[in-house]
Structure 1
Amino acid sequence: MTATRGPSLTLRLTLLFALASALVLFLLGLLIGNAVESHFEEQDLEVLNGKMKLAKHILERSPGGQSKEILTQQLDDALTGHHGLIVVVYGANGETLYANEAMTFPPDFLVTTAPKQEQPVKWTTSDGLPWRGISSAVKLGAGGGAAYSVAIATEIAHHEHFMTSFRQTLWGFMGLATLAMGLLGWFAVRRGLIPLQAIKQQAAEITANRLHTRLPVESIPVELADLADTLNGMLSRLEESFQRLSDFSSDLAHELRTPVSNLLTQTQVTLSKVRSADDYRDILASNAEEFERLSRTISDMLFLAKADNDQIIPHQEVIEMAEEVADLLEYYEILAEEKEIKLSHTGQGRVIGDRLMLRRAISNLLSNAVRHTPNGGTIVTRIARTAEGSTVLTVENTGKTISPEHLPRLFDRFYRVDSSRFRTTENAGLGLAITRSILLAHGGDITASSGNGLTTFVMRLPNENIENG
């Protein structure tokens, strides 16, 4: 079943860019619309307040016995030149003292007993016209006569029509601007992701035969530099692993070819003519030795394969390192005597681990030391504890100095510095690789050094979990 892919990065960034632009433009549109509407309201309120002050001034200065006609004339004169403006004066009992035009105000709009906060009120009449007005209470005459309510209103149909048209234009422009910003964002994202496309193309050209290729970090934007460095690091590890696998396959084929070729040649020679039973017995015994070598090589390879896949689970037990080393030195003592090699040991320590595995690791080091120590040489083993909480086993032997360029690869499979030092019929070049795998499985490590005719292998194993006593 084909996995469902998520939206492309270009689409995601474009949508986010368009959404952010739409939000900013929406807020900007609200701000502009409210600012324009507030401006119109302030203009209307300025006119309304001016006429309210004039009407109140006329009413408050009017004598109590002044006729209604004179008061009406004064108010008409004050409104000259202001079309669309309505002024109505109501008495305490609701009768109309003055009205330049008929107007039906909202029920709670008029006041007659106390001054009202002169805030504009907006309403729509039955004929659909919008109005904005203010009202206030006033005492007729300078002596504080009867209380009247003054209401002033102005038609705002023109303002409302302008605001409706303005909002339509504004929101239409916002929509087009959002679309334009989305398209520009898409174009910018596409341009910005060109380095990713370049990385994709360069990565697609990398094959098993071109693992040496690296992405050009210097031509990549800073934001993608870490990604390129990570990919280059991955390619370096893949190249190293692939090279090691290639070398290993070649070495393995070479190692298996020799015994198989020997078996085939010897079998063909044996079958070339009739031989005695003793001859067949000798040939079978020789073949058995080759089969044993093949069996050891295959067994060692299986062990290393398990180690590479973390399938080695050491058995945990307390091990006295001095006792194990002493037993193995006793085992190799006969071989050492044949070459007049002097064996010695100092120190003691305890670790937790698998006895058989660690014994095999130590045996590989001692076997390697005995094999490469010249006649009359010495092999010294030392056990010590470090301040970091590790137990260290050092195996030191005299002999030919190993060049520094070979030391890091001594623990590679089938690696040999030269045939005279590392290749014998009994050794397949896997002993040190197995030793390192065993120590890594125990949480330890191993290092090698060589100089002034001394070669030293140092095994480190953790011992912080061992209880005292």
Structure 2
Amino acid sequence: MSGRLSITLRLTLLFAAASTTVLLLLGYLIGGSVERHFAEQDMEVLTGKLKLTQHALEKVGSNDDLGALREQLTNSLIGHQGLAVLVATQQGQVLFATSGAEFPRELSRRVQAGAIRAATWKGKDNQPQRGIFALAQSGIPGAPPAIIAVATDISHHAHFMHAFRATLWSVVLLAACLTGFLGWIAARRGLAPLQAITREAAGITAGRLDSRLPVDTVPVELAELADTLNGMWARLEDSFRRLSNFSSDLAHELRTPVSNLLTQTQVTLSKARTLDEYRDILASNAEELERLSRIIADMLFLAKSDNHLVVPNRETVNLIDEVNGVFEYYGILSEEKSIAMTCAGNGCVSGDRLMLRRAISNLLSNAVRHTPEGGRIAVRVDDAEEGAIKLSIENTGETIPAEHLTRLFDRFYRADSSRQRSSEGAGLGLAITRSILRAHGGEARVSSENGITVFSLEFAPG
């Protein structure tokens, strides 16, 4: 944990590094521009004096004119502090030199005819110098070209650049610190909504799952995160609510048979009974135990389904044959209520025959139970979209309110009194049906309007 940097610190370092880099680059460019400007100024002065010296040397027609050359050059240098001029033969004989002039010999020897050589060097007292060298022809017939060197002291330039760089580094250091501080403030303020989200998330408990983040008040960049968290909390709230309702319903379903068994056993033990009475009591207890066994078996099946442990065996199943087989089981009950039952269509799916028959039986049992006397139940198998198969079970009766439709497949869910499950079942049939269909890659659906309720089993292609 100690080796990890916070986002605030990372942003602060990034701001500081970015500003330092920009300032250094800007200082380098400005410093280079200033140095080039000084060099251009120096070269302009040096080139002017070089041309003046070349012109004066061209007018020297004999050795007697050298005196006039010295006087002319001396007069031309009046007012030019720090400027030095040297005129010498290639053999090293000095024809003219200003006081204190000092030029590197190795540089002057490299001068070529028709070219001007520029250079910088350290003079006496370690003073920086900038100068140019060139060959010039005198007016003396047959005389070889002379070397002309012009230099100037650039100490003031060096002092300026030294002060400039010192100022630049100071400004860069100050700007880096200031930018880092301002970046820290900006990062803190920018991450404040994220910290608010963190505080809100930390306050979420099982009793506060209804809390939601205000998406409209967070920055655009965090809106998607807020939406995701709100969606997660909504799913958790729904899951907790369902779990709470399920626990309550399960306790209610188990309480009745357990209470019946306990009461009946206590009453039986209160006094001696005849053999027939004991036999009747044991038969009644067996019925309650069978009910408990069914509930436990159904719950185990649903638990396996929730954990994707229900793996159906695959075989070709003719849905119409399975429906007809279930029709025979409910035939007597439908005749008692004068319910007309029809079956049409054709379709085969790949799945577990016993599981699919159980799903169909659950839906037909539900339809027979809630279809009024004289009503009808119609089963149809059709080809759905893209090769899918759809089995629909339609029955007449009261319309189921829309608010109950989405929850009919929940465990132990009770709609209004007209749709409540009888004591024959534990209220898990529709939930098991949906689990079976999902294990086969399909889905169970329901719709109800105008006194017609339709349960559909939709099988995926395959």
Scaled by the length of structure 2, the TM-score of the pair is 0.94
CA deviation string 1:297-333 (max 9, x = no partner): 1111122122222222222222222222222222222
Shift of 1:181: 0.7
Partner of 1:94: 92
1:110 and 1:136 in contact (8 A); partners too: no
Partner of 2:229: 231
2:295 and 2:356 mapped to 1: Cα distance? Answer: 19
Shift of 1:338: 3.0
SS at match of 2:19: helix
Shift of 1:376: 2.8
1:395 and 1:458 in contact (8 A); partners too: yes
Partner of 2:377: 379
Partner of 1:167: 165
Partner of 1:295: 293
Partner of 2:365: 367
Say yes or no: does 1:28 pair with 2:26.
yes
1:360 and 1:441 mapped to 2: Cα distance? Answer: 13
Unaligned 5+ runs, structure 1: none
Partner of 1:137: 135
Shift of 1:452: 2.8
CA deviation string 1:420-447 (max 9, x = no partner): 5322221111111111111122221121
Partner of 2:74: 76
Partner of 1:105: 104
2:127 and 2:155 in contact (8 A); partners too: yes
| Off by >4 Å, runs of 4+ in structure 1 | 109-113, 142-145
Partner of 1:342: 340
C-alpha distance 364-66 of structure 1, shift in aligned 2 (>3 A): farther
What does 1:256-275 align with in structure 2 at a 5 Å threshold? 256-275=254-273
SS at match of 2:272: coil
Say yes or no: does 1:198 pair with 2:180.
no
1:116 and 1:344 mapped to 2: Cα distance? Answer: 114
2:315 and 2:292 mapped to 1: Cα distance? Answer: 32
1:361 and 1:438 in contact (8 A); partners too: yes
SS at match of 1:428: coil
CA deviation string 1:109-128 (max 9, x = no partner): 4455412245x311223642
1:112 and 1:148 in contact (8 A); partners too: no
Scaled by the length of structure 1, the TM-score of the pair is 0.93
Partner of 1:122: 120
Shift of 1:144: 8.4
Which of the numbers 349, 352, 358 marks the counterpart of 1:351?
349
Partner of 2:182: 184
C-alpha distance 324-5 of structure 1, shift in aligned 2 (>3 A): farther
Partner of 1:53: 51
Say yes or no: does 1:402 pair with 2:400.
yes
Shift of 1:164: 1.2
C-alpha distance 387-219 of structure 1, shift in aligned 2 (>3 A): closer
Shift of 1:218: 2.4
SS at match of 1:406: helix
The letter for the 1-side match of 2:41 is Q
SS at match of 1:409: coil
1:453 and 1:139 mapped to 2: Cα distance? Answer: 122
2:378 and 2:111 mapped to 1: Cα distance? Answer: 119
1:341 and 1:373 in contact (8 A); partners too: yes
CA deviation string 1:147-204 (max 9, x = no partner): 1221111111221122112211211111111011101111121122222222222222
CA deviation string 1:227-272 (max 9, x = no partner): 2222212211111111111111111111111111111111111111
C-alpha distance 366-259 of structure 1, shift in aligned 2 (>3 A): same
Which of the numbers 33, 37, 40 marks the counterpart of 1:39?
37
Partner of 1:249: 247
2:112 and 2:134 in contact (8 A); partners too: no
SS at match of 1:174: helix
Shift of 1:223: 2.3
Shift of 1:291: 1.1
1:111 and 1:136 in contact (8 A); partners too: no
Partner of 2:6: 8
Shift of 1:365: 0.7
SS at match of 1:330: helix
